[in-house]
């Protein structure tokens, strides 16, 4: 967010239920949560678009899905009629909630073109937080 807004003099727009807070935290609405293979699959609505460098940077993230498994996880997006895993997630300390703070993530091969073919696979992405309330 800092790079897009400050360094690249760009913009960030959240739509479809995603909310961009004053603190530059983007919140996506939870659409579905399911227990899968000892972990969780979380599907989120809304989208966020980052634009900068007079159109050279134009990235839209939509159809976010977070898979949190017992040993690792993945972040994927919808791109047309395909699902692309754009980030691998390192194992996180687990408890009985769906709250993870500063979850480390790294770019996958499939994520390279999403970010304009600028970063190689394995590049560390900004860590993110997950805080999901699940009704029992």
- Comparing CA positions, the residue from 121, 124, 120, 85 lying closest to residue 104 is 124
Could you tell me the pTM of the whole model? Answer: 0.88
pLDDT at 37: 83
State the distance between the two ends of the chain, measured CA to CA, in whole angstroms.
34
Across-strand partners of 32? 43
Backbone angles phi, psi at 66, to 5 degrees: -120, 120
Alpha carbons 54 and 22: distance in angstroms, whole number: 24
Number of domains the chain is built from? 1
Q: Give the model confidence (pLDDT) of 19-73 as tens digits.
A: 999 888 899 999 999 988 888 899 999 999 999 988 888 999 999 999 988 888 9
Sign of CA dihedral 4, 77, 121, 74: positive
Domain extent at residue 102 = 2-132
């Amino acid at each position: 967010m800092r790079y897009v807004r400050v360094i690249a003099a760009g913009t960030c727009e959240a739509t479809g239920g995603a909310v961009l807070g004053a603190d530059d935290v983007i919140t996506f609405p939870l659409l579905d949560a399911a227990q899968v293979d000892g972990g969780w699959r979380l599907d989120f609505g809304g989208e966020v678009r980052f634009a900068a460098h007079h159109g050279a940077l134009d990235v839209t993230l939509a159809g976010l899905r977070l898979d949190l498994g017992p040993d690792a996880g993945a972040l994927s997006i919808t791109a047309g009629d395909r699902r692309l895993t754009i980030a691998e997630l390192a194992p996180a300390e687990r408890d009985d909630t769906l709250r993870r703070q500063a979850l480390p993530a790294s770019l996958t091969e499939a994520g390279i073109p999403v970010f304009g073919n600028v970063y190689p696979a394995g590049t560390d992405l900004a860590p993110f937080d997950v805080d999901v309330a699940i009704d029992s």
